Amino acid sequence: MSDNLTFPPGFIWGAATAAYQIEGAWDTDGKGESIWDRFAHTPGKIAGGDTGDMACDHYHRWQEDVAHMAALGLSSYRFSIAWTRVFPDGGAQPNQRGLDFYRRLVEALNSRGIAPAVTLYHWDLPQALQDRGGWLNRDTALRFAEYAAFLFRQLGGEVPLWITHNEPFMQAFYGHGTGENAPGHRNPWEILTVGHHLLLSHGLAVEAFRAAAPRPASPAAPAPQIGIVLFIWPQHAASDSPRDLAANSVVDGSMNRLFLAPLFADGYPDDILRHFARRGMRPAVRPGDMAIIGRPLDFLGINTYTRLINRAAPRDLLSGARQLPPHGPTTAMGWEIYPDCIGEALRKAREYTTLPLFIAENGAAFDDVVGPDGTVDDQPRVDYLRAHIAAARRAIAEGIDLRGYYIWTLMDNFEWSKGLGKRFGLIYTDFTTQRRIWKRSAHWYRDVIARNGLPQE
Ligand code: IFM
């Protein structure tokens, strides 16, 4: 690490995906219906009428995809398990064929030296549990802990990094507040209860993990670890006026502190509880819950892509804030390209915990096209990644214990309500033929991994 481009030895270079976004095969081999299957099949919910029915057809093409990961040189691959493949109706009866799919995938990754990082829940709740109230029903947290315990028993030792949830913020606020995500509820009064049950289910799963104490596959391998992945987006006030500062603090409180504080400090932040209580919103906390939620973890994963600039907007029911337009160039999502999001998100996490940190997702959508010569020249993504990885390197130089960086995402996939049109991948997916084409950024990332750092410009 003699220069400011090289990373510490053993730094983890990864790529991330999620089950519903890549697998397809939505009703194959006994898989049950999830809330995303139901939501995407509801007309008008997804741009262009797209669904994840096929997505990248990874369920059938996983061997080819693992070969791409190996060719990239990934040290880790983060993916999620579809609860409904393993327990089709969210109950206690496992589906062997679903479990076998993940067992084969985990074995293939390990055999190629790619450490599996497994997310248990990336938003695809069994529809059968949704029919019984979903995350509004405290019982769903108990069902989640059983599902998690089953996987710890089955695959625990083969998976070095277990992640309970991906971005509980999104499930709570977008699934239940704006309705942009499944299950599509537009009922802000549900948000805090859903968020609380997600966190409770996380804590119960951590307890199940400690009880199972999965042993590493080989004595030389490190013991499997457990953590959670939070969405941490830096928030900036539009001005120094007390109103803008207060509005900014509410957005930061809702997106970031509402999840960091109960996990790592002493409960929900008072200012945010008061803010929501004035709107009649309260989490359904029972005695003992906060101790479960705060069970010690082994690491924290952070997803960060940009920043938001907030100005007071008293008419906004939920936050009392509005976001200003981005202050510079944006990605195809309309998100400002703001590389300091990496350092700011890591420092925010550091206010709450000294655990090892991972950037569990970072990346960009651009309007990539296959050129006449059959290549995909995504130089804007290379520029984005270079700037963000450089920011990660600066954070390490500051003393932040950052252990790894996962690009979102391995290959273009189903970007939730935006459908198949938002391309975030290192690898271009032709959704008609399912052909994969390495973009310029994939070649570039392979080089970064091989040299364990950034090339000179
Ligand atoms: O595609 C999503 C992912 O599922 C969760 N984090 C943000 C990504 C880009 O929007």
Domain spans, the chain? 3-451
Give the residue numbers annotated as catalytic, written as ranges. Answer: 167, 361
What is the predicted pLDDT for the residue at 116? 98
Q: Of 169, 175, 178, which Cα lies nearest the Cα of 318?
A: 178
What is the predicted pLDDT for the residue at 336? 98
Q: Decide whether any atom of ligand 1 lies within 6 Å of the 244 Cβ.
A: no
Long-range contacts of 378-381 (CB under 8 A, 24+ apart): 378/439, 378/440, 378/441, 379/440, 380/331, 381/426, 381/439, 381/440, 381/441
Report how far ligand 1's centroid is from the alpha carbon of 167 (Å). Answer: 9
Class of domain 3-451: alpha beta
What is the predicted pLDDT for the residue at 145? 98
Give helix then strand counts, H and E, for the chain. Answer: 16, 13
Q: Decide whether any atom of ligand 1 lies within 6 Å of the 361 Cβ.
A: yes
Report how far ligand 1's centroid is from the alpha carbon of 324 (Å). Answer: 22
Polymer length in residues for the chain: 457
Per-residue pLDDT tens for 173-182?
Answer: 999 999 999 9
Per-residue pLDDT tens for 128-140?
Answer: 999 999 999 999 9
Q: Are 125 and 83 in contact (CB under 8 A)?
A: yes
* CA-nearest residue, atom 4 of ligand 1: 18
What is the predicted pLDDT for the residue at 317? 80
Per-residue pLDDT tens for 317-372?
Answer: 888 999 999 999 999 999 999 999 999 999 999 999 999 999 999 999 999 999 99
Burial 438-453 (b: 16+ CB within 10 A, else e): bbbbbebbbebbeebb
Of the chain, the percentage scoring pLDDT greater than 90 comes to 96
The Cα 81–Cα 98 span in angstroms is 9
Q: Decide whether any atom of ligand 1 lies within 6 Å of the 415 Cβ.
A: yes
Positions in the chain whose pLDDT score sits under 50: none
The Cα 351–Cα 155 span in angstroms is 33
For a mutational test of ligand 1's pocket, the pick from 303, 384, 410, 417, i.e. the residue with the most ligand atoms closer than 8 A to its C-beta, is 303
Amino acid at 392: A
What is the predicted pLDDT for the residue at 343? 98
Q: Decide whether any atom of ligand 1 lies within 6 Å of the 357 Cβ.
A: no
